[in-house]
Amino acid sequence: MEESFRTQLEETQKADILIGIPSYNNARTIGHVVRAAMAGLAKYFPNAKAVMVNSDGGSTDGTQDEVRRVQIEDFKTILTSHPVYPVSKIVTPYHGIPGKGSAFRTIFEAARILKAKACAVVDSDLRSIAPEWMELLLGPIYEEGFDYVAPLYARHKFDGTITNSIVYPLTRALYGKRIRQPIGGDFGFSGKLAEFYLTRDVWETDVARFGIDIWMTTLAVAEGFKACQSYLGAKIHDAKDPGSDLGPMFTQVVSSVYRLMEEYQTLWKEVKESQPIPSFGFHYEVGLEPISVNVERMIGNFRQGVRDLAEIWKKVVLPETVPWLESIARLSDGAFSFPQDLWVRLIYDFALAYYKRTVHREHLLKSMIPLYLGRVASFVKENQKSSAEEVEKKIESLCQGFEAMKPYLIERWA
């Protein structure tokens, strides 16, 4: 932590609420995020002393200047009375491995020094954030005694495919809590939970890159903290085609999920079924931006994977699985279909291979990407004409598939 940052925190002495905004070259959007957060704090927590920390990864586009510049000129537009405390803003670079987790570590440290009661982090590329998000992310902690608030979004049916096809159904089956957006990006958490996060030595791992969201969610549930979720409406941000721009995100998120399976194996082996968690917020219909998906490219990547990676997969999966994948690869684009039951078994097989180090872990995770693209391509094809409600039922069916096949995982794990 930079000495000047620590000094600013110590001069502030104490805060009731902390808002963290990690950023990297987000000058175009971060002003709106800061303004919405300030308005929400003024409207819903007018008597609370609040601090906003922008934990920046070395932006060169003026992101930090934009954070410092933003003010709300006329509180009368949102309030009946002026807030007791102005929101203090602190801009600081974070240190360590480049990534969101390193930015969060700085925010957790700020929460500990300020002894904050309630904290929230929000993405810096959000275009749909509203002042009400502050009440929804902070209120359950500040007023209801919860320790962790996960976001619940309305998203386009083809947005969040890593969440929908792997992270949500797998973590739900493992830990027994139906947290719909476990890697949503915008969270609320208690100061007590922030301090707990700092006790864990994960800051040189994939958690420090893209694995922080699922790590936070899993630890909150597995360590017995009181968790809930809040409906925030639309999540409109810089969304990506699931067939491109994956970069390292897929491998780092899945690596974090599998690493946590190893850490908490004693716990999840005893979980028999999943339960809903408390939810806050008014559910309403929202308009969502369409997402362009290149299905043909995803199918092409899957076929290339079958050609190139079959020898690796044979070390991981049951003997009949690779011939099954080869038969899927021979299907035409029009007939292409990747069965749900096969997908569930593959996720469990790769979790076992990761745990037992059957294949070098980095190679193992990278070899999953063509399988993931094949499954997503099949899901998109099946649901081109489906409504959002119908797609959600398909995801629920997938979750039930993961829960039904969990005995297979437990038996092979031993």
pLDDT digits (tens, 9 = 90+) for 85-101: 778 888 888 888 878 88
Q: Which of 104-107's residues contact partners 24+ apart within 8 Å by CB, and which partners?
A: 104/20, 104/22, 104/55, 104/197, 104/212, 104/216, 105/198, 105/203, 105/208, 106/1, 106/5, 106/20, 106/53, 106/55, 107/18, 107/20, 107/22, 107/53, 107/55, 107/194
DSSP secondary structure code for residue 131 in this structure = T
Geometric angle at alpha carbon 205, from 410 and 164, rounded to 5°: 55
User: What backbone phi and psi angles, to 5 degrees, belong to 99?
Assistant: 155, 170
How many angstroms separate the CA atoms of 366 and 97, rounded?
20
pLDDT digits (tens, 9 = 90+) for 26-71: 999 999 999 999 999 999 999 999 999 999 888 899 999 999 998 8
pLDDT at 241 over 70: no
Are 251 and 360 a contacting pair, CB within 8 Å?
no
How many angstroms separate the CA atoms of 212 and 103, rounded?
10
Task: Give the per-residue pLDDT at 1.
Answer: 60
Predicted structure pTM score: 0.91
Task: Give the per-residue pLDDT at 285.
Answer: 72
Percent of the chain exceeding pLDDT 70 equals: 93
User: What backbone phi and psi angles, to 5 degrees, belong to 224?
Assistant: 80, 20
Report how far Cα 178 is from the mean position of its chain's Cα atoms. 14
How many angstroms separate the CA atoms of 142 and 119, rounded?
9
Are 254 and 171 a contacting pair, CB within 8 Å?
no
Question: What's the mean pLDDT in 240-261?
Answer: 80
Higher pLDDT, 209 or 219: 219
**Total residue count of the chain as it appears in this document:** 414
Task: Give the per-residue pLDDT at 235.
Answer: 82
Of the candidates 287, 276, 293, 279, the one whose C-alpha atom is nearest the C-alpha of residue 382 is: 293
How many angstroms separate the CA atoms of 47 and 192, rounded?
21
How many angstroms separate the CA atoms of 56 and 53, rounded?
9
Hey, which residues does 19 pair with through a beta bridge? 52, 120
Handedness of CA 241, 243, 248, 253 (dihedral sign): positive
Please measure the distance between the N-terminal and C-terminal CA atoms of the chain and give it in whole angstroms. 43
pLDDT at 168 over 80: yes
